[in-house]
Copies of this chain bind each other. A is one copy, B any other.
Amino acid sequence: MPKYHAKVFVTLKPSILDPQGRTVERALSHLEHHNVSSVRIGKYIELSLSGERAEVEAQLGEITASVLSNPIMEDARWELEEVK
């Protein structure tokens, strides 16, 4: 059965405040990195799946939307790559 490696990127929607990112931005500014702005902190999830490609893609879309992210506040996208 084919095996796949998936990468999922979860980011807060642009309209949602990101206090963690704001804190990192302020810390960087204190460290003299004044040219850094718009720091946003999201999640990067790696997972392995086995099965037929079309089924795995549908499954990954469902997992991403229902378990790995909160569609009310977050955007999510994924990449799938077959493991040879």
* Interface flag for A49 (CB, 8 Å): yes
Q: How far is the CA of A11 from the CA of B8 in the complex (A)?
A: 12
A46 proximity list for chain B (CB < 8 A): 11, 38-40, 42
Query: Do B39 and A47 touch across chains, with their CB atoms under 8 A apart?
Result: yes
Quick one: CB contact mask for A64-81 with B, threshold 8 Å, 1 for yes?
A: 000110000000000000
Quick one: CB contact mask for A18-49 with B, threshold 8 Å, 1 for yes?
A: 00010011011001010111111111111111
A41 proximity list for chain B (CB < 8 A): 43-45
Return A57 CB to nearest CB of chain B, in Å. Answer: 13
Query: Do A44 and B47 touch across chains, with their CB atoms under 8 A apart?
Result: no
Partner pick for A63 among B36, B38, B49, CB 8 A cutoff: B36
